[in-house]
Amino acid sequence: MKLISSEKKEKSTVELVIEVSAEEFEAACAAAYAKQRGKITLPGFRKGKAPRKMIERMYGENFFWEDAVNESYGSAYDAALKEAGIEAVGEAKMEVEKIDKDGYTFKALVPVKPEITVSDYKGIEAPLYPVSVGEDEANDELERMLKRNARIETVDRAIAGGDTAVIDFEGFTDGVAFEGGKGENYSLEIGSQSFIPGFEEQLVGRKAGDECEVHVTFPDEYHAEELAGKPAVFKVKIHEVKESILPTLDDEFAKDVSEFDTLAELKADIEKRIRESREASVKSSFENAVMDKLAQKVEGEIPDAMIDAQAERQLENMAYRLQSQGMDFQTYVKLTGMSIDDMRADMRPRAEVQVKVSLALEKIAEIEKVEVTQEDIDAEYNKFAEQYNMPLEQVKIAVNEDDLRGDLLREKASKIVLDAAKGIDPDVAAAKEKKPAAKKSASAKTSTTKKTATKSTEKAETAEKKPAAKKTTAAKSTTAKTSTAKKTTAAKSTEKAETAEKKPAAKKTTAAKSATTKTSTAKKATGKTEEK
């Protein structure tokens, strides 16, 4: 391999012109022949026994060139990167310029880490929402606890709201039973609104042993189109009426369901855990907003390959999460009605922000002379080993040390930014965002979205969510740290996507962009039709 030239191009790319010698190319052609000869048949020769010279005489001397290029360009490219002192951050675009029996020359347009600047990264302002816990919220959680610990008893009386009726039912439209409209010994909680509107109310006042007809109309937006908007009659037989008897809300109840001796202590603990969960959510929202603002302060040309690689990692992480939840990714894609390309396009704006934040934190680490010591690395490995109950040596194999070092470097830099950040009143923040609307509308939208999300989940954040709240850390909430403790192992296999190692796709484009190799492909196809 000979590196002919290295030239900086626009948008943080470097063009390498690389020459593969006649000797290297001949070795690659020989290797291509060895792989392909078993599939080739020539008249007068048994399958796989035709000499290379005869094949090339029959189909042209360039018959193996395409495979030879794909066989040899990878090592030539790697050697050229090393010689030029370049670290690729994505797939290079390859193009064969000249090829003959004496070797070939190709260009590689390599995306490299951009030179960026980041200013005013200390003192970033972001909305910080106040945290409050109302007494009703603790009471609501106590009410849910009472219901979870209720005693169910069969009663000999008419059905009332809150009771459970055990029923048989069968539904009819226009006098004909419809599919899915029949059930036996079904336990229906009156007031749960789990059946068609109006159904449960018509059972109130009836007793076990009663048979009746329930008249309802399916909603216009009902999921089964053939039933939507249609009137229906259900024939119902009531077998049993059950009452939910709640325990008494007192100190004895607190002792039964918790480690506390009094109801007051249990209620105080519930309020505390709701507050902790909400504070963690608010903190995460604030830190994400700060990181979004940090991304806006990055100046420099970001190569598209870096953003594409980050979007791809997001897809891979999504597929991994779905798989861990028992859902196939392709099935999920079909259910959404989107294509993978649509998802990738949707993820790209966020991927761009994440790339900018990551670059900004690396730059800040350089400016602030942040260091990651071996003690830091060892401590993190030990933490992973304990967290995932894995032998330390196995963790070290699974988690690449360079990736881990990068994560810790960005984490330390993010702490510098977050410690200096200022939380301001959300209304004040919104007013400031509106002034330069054209420039910051995206950020404002992000903040608004996060505010809405926080508010919509506040009621759901009860004492039962304490574990999740405790796991929220500054490092995990920043978009900068793409690989969190859980994802670091995955990062090992995906971070390399930002380097020249991701070549299989590039190999396909190499030959495709060479007019000469296109010709050889056509000839090869002709040759293969004669294999049989």
Q: Which pLDDT score is estimated for 505?
A: 34
Q: Considering the chain, tell me which residue range(s) the CATH 3.10.50.40 domain(s) occupy.
A: 151-245
422-424 vs 125-127, strand pairing mode: parallel
Residue 48: per-residue pLDDT: 85
pLDDT tens for each residue of 442-488: 333 333 333 433 343 343 333 333 333 333 333 333 333 333 333 33
- Residue 487's φ and ψ, nearest 5 degrees, are -100, 0
In the prediction, which pLDDT does 435 show?
67
Q: Is domain 2-117+501-529 annotated with CATH 3.30.70.1050? A: yes
Q: Are 380 and 402 in contact (CB under 8 A)?
A: no
3 state DSSP class of 266: helix
Residue 133 CA to its chain's centroid (Å): 32
Q: What is the structure's pLDDT at 337?
A: 84
CATH fold of 151-245 reads: Chitinase A; domain 3 (3.10.50)
3-state secondary structure labels for all residues of 424-478? ECHHHHHHHHHCCHHHHHHHHHHHHHHHHHHHHHCCCCCHHHHHHHHHCCHHHHC
Give me the sign of the Cα torsion angle 515, 517, 523, 526.
negative
Q: Can you tell me the distance from the alpha carbon of 38 to that of 294, in angstroms, rounded to the nearest whole number?
A: 58
CATH 3.30.70.1050 positions along the chain are 2-117+501-529
Cβ 230 vs Cβ 165: under 8 Å: no
pLDDT confidence of residue 436: 53
CATH 1.10.3120.10 is right for the domain spanning 258-498: yes
Strand partners, 176: 173
Instruction: Considering only CA atoms, give the Rg of the chain.
Output: 33
Nearest-angstrom CA–CA distance, 142 and 138? 6
Q: Phi-psi category of 51—alpha, beta or left, where left has phi over 0 and alpha has psi -120 to 50?
A: beta
Q: Tokens for 337, please give them.
A: 């009605």
Task: Label residue 322 exposed, middle or buried (CB < 10 Å: 0-12, 13-18, 19+).
Answer: middle
Low-confidence ranges of the chain (pLDDT < 70): 435-532
Per-residue DSSP letter, 261: S
Q: How do residues 89-131 score in pLDDT, each as one tens digit? A: 988 999 999 999 999 999 999 999 999 999 999 999 999 999 9
Q: What is the pLDDT of residue 442?
A: 37
As a whole number of angstroms, the distance between CA 470 and CA 279 comes to 10
